[in-house]
Amino acid sequence: DAKTTQPPSMDCAEGRAANLPCNHSTISGNEYVYWYRQIHSQGPQYIIHGLKNNETNEMASLIITEDRKSSTLILPHATLRDTAVYYCIVRVTGRRALTFGSGTRLQVQP
Amino acid sequence: DTEVTQTPKHLVMGMTNKKSLKCEQHMGHRAMYWYKQKAKKPPELMFVYSYEKLSINESVPSRFSPECPNSSLLNLHLHALQPEDSALYLCASSHTASGVGEQFFGPGTRLTVL
């Protein structure tokens, strides 16, 4: 799986959009970008995934650059419950097991 | 039911004890996983079971012994553990071990080895 680089921590004001960046410059054509988050002392939770196109679901939006070397997870209206570690993971189609990087610790401030 | 359950929530054991962690899912998933997470670190893959057969062992020491008795259950048998094995043990499942899609994680078992 391609290596990902994320900032170690970010702050966001409650009610504002949280934009979490991820670099994956060595991504190959058959690798998907996945985002998971882990709220303190809980199991990781799936957020969203994509290959080339931007994706949106009820939790977040995923913006992937045209060259696929980076992506941004957008939480449109962050709440205190969104405080968590967010993991960006690049994974080949044939292997569903996850290799977690160090992630970004997002702190939503009131 | 989109839940993965794990028991016990907490476990304290001595280095000579034998204990087991249990994981259960009723989503019809045919792939199940064990991950280990040390404090302030990301989860690390230990084992993958696909259709009740062990398909990946990430060079885990033999004091950890996984078992998949049926498609809904996954156990992790522990024997002669070391204090450095203290961690959060996470179970996950997915429809299959390949392809596209999410993994569902349980809440974990927090293990302390004395």
Residue B39: alpha-carbon gap to chain centroid = 17
**Scanning the structure block, which residue is given the tokens 């996850």?**
A98
Per-residue model confidence (pLDDT) at position B1: 67
Cβ-defined contact of B108 to A46 (cutoff 8 Å): no
- C-alpha distances out from residue A74 to A5, A69, B50, Å: 17, 17, 33
A59 near B CB under 8 A: no
What is the signed CA dihedral for A50, A52, A58, A61, rounded to 10 degrees?
A: 110
Is pLDDT larger for residue B97 or for residue B84? Answer: B84
All residues of chain A having their beta carbon less than 8 Å from the beta carbon of residue B48 are: 97
A32 near B CB under 8 A: yes
Instruction: Determine the Cα angle at B37 with ends B82 and A51, to 5°.
Output: 150
Per-residue model confidence (pLDDT) at position B55: 92
- Which among A45, A97, A102 is the nearest to B48, CB-wise? A97
pLDDT band at A29 (very low <50, low <70, confident <90, very high): confident
Could you tell me which residues come within 8 angstroms of residue B107 by beta carbon, excluding any fewer than 6 positions away? A42, A43, B5, B6, B9
Is pLDDT at B68 greater than 80 in this prediction?
yes
Which range, of A1-10, A75-84, B79-88, averages the lowest pLDDT?
A1-10
Per DSSP (E only), the strands in chain A are 9-13, 18-23, 31-38, 45-50, 55-56, 61-64, 70-75, 84-92, 104-109
Q: How close A15 gets to chain B, by Cα (Å)? A: 27
Per-residue model confidence (pLDDT) at position B96: 85
Closest residue in B to A34 (Cα) is B102
Give percent of chain A above pLDDT 70.
97
Which range, of A41-50, A69-78, A91-100, averages the lowest pLDDT?
A91-100
**Which is it for the CA torsion B48, B59, A35, B7, positive or negative?**
positive
Is pLDDT at A93 greater than 80 in this prediction?
no
Is pLDDT at B2 greater than 90 in this prediction?
no
Is pLDDT at A52 greater than 80 in this prediction?
yes
All residues of chain A having their beta carbon less than 8 Å from the beta carbon of residue B35 are: 98
Q: What is the mean pLDDT of residues A1-28?
A: 93
Contact A11, A19 (CB under 8 A): no
Per-residue model confidence (pLDDT) at position A67: 95
A52 near B CB under 8 A: no
Q: What is the mean pLDDT of residues B89-101?
A: 89
Per-residue model confidence (pLDDT) at position A30: 86
Per-residue model confidence (pLDDT) at position B99: 75
A94 near B CB under 8 A: yes
**Scanning the structure block, which residue is given the tokens 């996950």?**
B92
Mean pLDDT of chain B: 94
Is pLDDT at A2 greater than 80 in this prediction?
no
Return the percent helix, strand and coil in chain B, to nearest 5: 5, 55, 40
Q: How close A25 gets to chain B, by Cα (Å)? A: 21
